[in-house]
């Protein structure tokens, strides 16, 4: 169980909420992990159950069916999900996508989609990455051409989380191909639209239970009312939302690192070699001690970053530094924990194997570690 007694960001109400999250995960999540891993997707029943339990989009205003809570509630869900080894993309929906609609959407868009996202009836995705455009979003080639009262969308996206499950996709497209970043817009696309097709559920190294897809748009027609916010403002919207997205990934990474550390402690104290437990070897104790010191610093930093975010003060550079630090720490801890398992760590029956595989992408999506360093360097 994730220890929270030394945390500074949470109060009694949040710990009560955390207990509810744990009970839900024990009932509806953990028993299904192996099945989701094999099937390559989280079933829709889980999404609806999460909605019924109040675990989707808790920050949405009450006017749109939400609870009107602050980001700490998202963080509690993120921590418990990733400590439990979750492959779900609930955090993507709650921490990232829903904010685009609530912040930039029209009243019609908000009233139509937010209640459905909260209930789990609608699963959403955001389609940024393309075969030829990753971290450099100005390089997207998907176009949305205005024709009268409609947009005609053509293009392809890849590595899209929730792509197989998605009912609604926020598509990053060029409405003016000659205007650079000022020509990028965000457009809502329903998965039922003619011209929308899903490619394969991509075969990944890790996070196998989370669907990740190719998406294709061929002469897809949507009404101009599906434009999210203003035309040409999409790049600015994306940049404005990055701090919370990167903080969210940092939260996930820290919780996953803690689970890996706890698995290593448990295994080494139980496993015997040469007449003593593996934990009794000085190398093991020193390795774990070094990791524990870094984890202690990590939790303190995470609470600081969340406090900054709640005050509206977390900068893009600070959020990028948080993602960089916590995802790199996650990888260090997961790799060391696997090593301490010895040959058992290479066996899928042990949780550390999945934690290690799933950790690798954290240093890539949401902006690679190299891009994070570039963002931080620009602030110096």
pLDDT in tens, 205-235: 999 999 999 999 999 999 999 999 999 999 9
Domain check: are 223 and 130 in the same one?
yes
* Per-residue pLDDT at 71 exceeds 90: yes
Give domain status of residue 195, yes or no.
yes
CA-derived radius of gyration, the chain: 21
The 10 Å Cβ neighbour count of residue 178 is 7
Give domain status of residue 2, yes or no.
no
Q: Read out DSSP for 270-295? A: H-EETTEEGGGSHHHHHHHHHHHHHH
Encode pLDDT of 141-157 as tens digits: 999 999 999 999 999 99
Q: Is 332 a catalytic residue?
A: no
What phi and psi values does residue 303 have, to the nearest 5 degrees?
-65, -40
3-state secondary structure of 172: strand
CATH number, residue 299: 1.20.140.10
Domain check: are 44 and 131 in the same one?
no
In the chain the first and final C-alpha atoms are separated, in Å, by 39
Decide if 140 contacts 130 (C-beta within 8 A): yes
Give domain status of residue 112, yes or no.
yes
Unique residue bearing structure tokens 């999506």: 365
Confidence at residue 180, expressed as pLDDT on a 0 to 100 scale: 87
Domain check: are 146 and 276 in the same one?
no
* Per-residue pLDDT at 85 exceeds 80: yes
Instruction: Look up residue 261 and give its two tokens.
Output: 């550390």
* Per-residue pLDDT at 92 exceeds 80: yes
DSSP label of 133 = B
Q: Is 207 left (phi over 0), alpha (psi -120 to 50) or beta?
A: left
Encode pLDDT of 236-283 as tens digits: 999 999 999 999 999 999 999 999 999 999 999 999 999 999 999 999
Catalytic: which of 37, 245, 263, 318?
A: 245
Domain check: are 111 and 183 in the same one?
no
> Taking the complete model, does pTM exceed 0.85, yes or no?
yes
Domain check: are 198 and 105 in the same one?
no
Domain check: are 366 and 251 in the same one?
yes
Which residue range forms the structural domain that includes residue 51?
12-122
Give domain status of residue 5, yes or no.
no
Encode pLDDT of 360-370 as tens digits: 999 999 999 99
Distance of CA 67 to the CA centre of its chain: 21
Q: What percent of the chain has pLDDT over 90?
A: 94
Domain check: are 210 and 293 in the same one?
no
What confidence tier does 49 reach under pLDDT thresholds 50, 70, 90?
very high
* Per-residue pLDDT at 131 exceeds 90: no
């Amino acid at each position: 169980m994730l220890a929270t007694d030394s945390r500074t960001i949470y109060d009694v109400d949040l710990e009560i909420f955390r207990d509810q999250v744990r009970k839900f995960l024990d009932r509806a999540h953990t028993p299904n992990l192996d099945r989701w891993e094999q099937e390559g997707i989280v079933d829709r029943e889980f999404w609806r159950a999460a909605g019924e339990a109040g675990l989707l989009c808790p920050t949405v205003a009450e006017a749109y069916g939400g609870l009107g809570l602050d980001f700490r509630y998202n963080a509690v869900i993120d921590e418990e999900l990733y400590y439990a080894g979750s492959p779900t993309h609930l955090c993507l929906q709650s921490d990232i996508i829903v904010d685009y609609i609530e912040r930039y959407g029209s009243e019609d868009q908000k009233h139509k989609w937010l209640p459905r996202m909260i209930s789990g009836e609608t699963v959403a995705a955001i389609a940024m990455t393309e075969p030829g455009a990753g971290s450099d979003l100005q390089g997207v080639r998907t176009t949305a051409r205005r024709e009268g009262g409609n947009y005609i969308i053509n293009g392809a996206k890849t590595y899209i989380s929730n792509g197989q499950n998605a009912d609604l996709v926020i598509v990053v497209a060029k409405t003016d191909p000659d205007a650079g970043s000022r020509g990028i817009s965000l457009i809502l696309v329903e998965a039922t639209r003619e011209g929308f097709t899903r490619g394969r559920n991509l075969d990944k190294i890790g996070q196998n239970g989370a669907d990740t897809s190719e998406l294709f748009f061929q002469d897809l027609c949507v009404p101009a009312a599906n434009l999210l916010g203003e035309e040409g403002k999409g790049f600015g919207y994306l940049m404005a939302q990055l701090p919370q997205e990167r903080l969210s990934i940092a939260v996930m990474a820290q919780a996953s690192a803690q689970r890996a550390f706890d698995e290593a402690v448990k295994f080494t104290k139980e496993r015997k070699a040469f007449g003593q437990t593996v934990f009794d070897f000085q190398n093991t104790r020193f390795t774990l001690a070094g990791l524990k010191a870094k984890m202690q610093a990590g939790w303190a930093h995470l609470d600081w970053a969340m406090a900054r975010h709640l005050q509206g003060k977390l900068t893009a550079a600070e959020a990028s530094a948080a993602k960089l630090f916590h995802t790199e720490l996650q990888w260090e801890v997961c790799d060391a924990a696997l090593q301490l398992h010895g040959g058992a760590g290479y066996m899928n029956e042990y949780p550390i194997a999945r934690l290690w595989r799933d950790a690798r992408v954290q240093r890539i999506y949401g902006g690679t570690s190299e891009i994070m360093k570039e963002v931080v360097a620009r602030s110096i």
